[in-house]
Amino acid sequence: MKLLCLFLSALVASIPAGVGPPVSTPIEPAASSAEAPGSVRQQAVAGGARAGKAFTKKQKQVTKEKNAQKNDGTTRCENCDTETVPGKIKVVVKLEKDEDDYPPANYEGLWARPLGEGLFQVDNIPFFAKGIAYGDIVSAVTELQELRFREVVRPSGHGTLRLIIYDQKEVSTVSALLEKMGCAVERSHIPGLISVDVPPAVSLAVLKPILDEGETQERWGYEEACLPST
């Protein structure tokens, strides 16, 4: 397990995208003053009860290493040449790093559609944020000239999976398999990392045997970033 984490960190520091809605963007917003315990920003970290199985240490390391190899040690999205999409806006989610210093970003920008009264509908599949799925209605507040995620107000019933596929030549094949089963797939700027939307019509119980088999064969690792709500 530790070997996979180390592999992900090395790739994140060394590497020189997708399908579905516009991809989310790992970002680093302007620094703010120290946050008091219990503040809105400290509480508004995605994850919690909606997340399930996480990447192993080895799988996290592979992802981090691939990201670094791609971007000379920095995290950025090469799929989006602009930060503006008609009818959409970025909602910034603060990411909580674990004991393995994962994910390889502090914030992630998610495309969303404004609904009014501080509510937004997520319009892409997160690559790092946990507890958030495509179509969720979330609330956000303006802070430092950015919209900062506050909480999920109404779950969409969708789930979010993420796979780190070790052989890049398999990415298209694996993506096509998941799409054939009714899922939507987005490719990250990190080679081999894909995010998967599991709509309400697709049973996670049907997907898991396939995911577990591929993980056992060391073709990929996967995590359940947001379990489908019932």
pLDDT mean over 184-207: 96
pLDDT at 66 over 70: yes
Q: Which of 137, 144, 56 is nearest to 92 (CA)?
A: 144
Distance of CA 184 to the CA centre of its chain: 14
Q: What is the rounded average pLDDT for all residues in the chain?
A: 80
pLDDT at 112 over 90: yes
Distances (CA, A) of 206 to 64, 165, 202: 29, 20, 8
Tokens of 135: 């179509």
Task: Put the strands of the sheet holding 220-226 in their side by side order.
Answer: 184-187, 193-198, 159-165, 220-226
Confirm if 195 and 161 have CB atoms less than 8 A apart: yes
Domain locations along the chain: 1-230
Q: How confident is the model at residue 64 (pLDDT cuts 50, 70, 90)?
A: confident
Enter the pTM of the model: 0.69
- CA–CA gap between residue 103 and residue 56 (Å, rounded): 12
Distances (CA, A) of 169 to 9, 160, 175: 21, 23, 11
Tokens of 35: 């946050």
pLDDT, tens digit, 9 for 90 and up, residues 96-108 = 999 999 999 999 9
What pLDDT shows up at residue 53? 84
Q: Are strands 193-198 and 146-154 parallel, antiparallel or unpaired?
A: unpaired
- Report the range of poorest mean pLDDT among 20-34, 60-74, 146-160, 210-224: 20-34
Helices (H), the chain: 2-12, 40-43, 57-71, 171-180, 204-216
pLDDT, tens digit, 9 for 90 and up, residues 117-136 = 999 999 999 999 999 999 99
pLDDT mean over 153-168: 97
- Report the range of poorest mean pLDDT among 53-57, 67-71, 121-125, 128-132: 67-71
Confirm if 190 and 196 have CB atoms less than 8 A apart: no
Q: Dihedrals φ, ψ of 33, to 5°?
A: -70, 165
pLDDT mean over 144-168: 96
pLDDT at 18 over 50: no
pLDDT mean over 86-99: 92
pLDDT at 33 over 50: no
What pLDDT shows up at residue 51? 79
SS3 49: helix
- Write b or e for each residue in 78-104: b if 16 or more Cβ atoms lie within 10 A of its Cβ, otherwise e: eebeeeeeeebbbbbbbbeeeebebbb
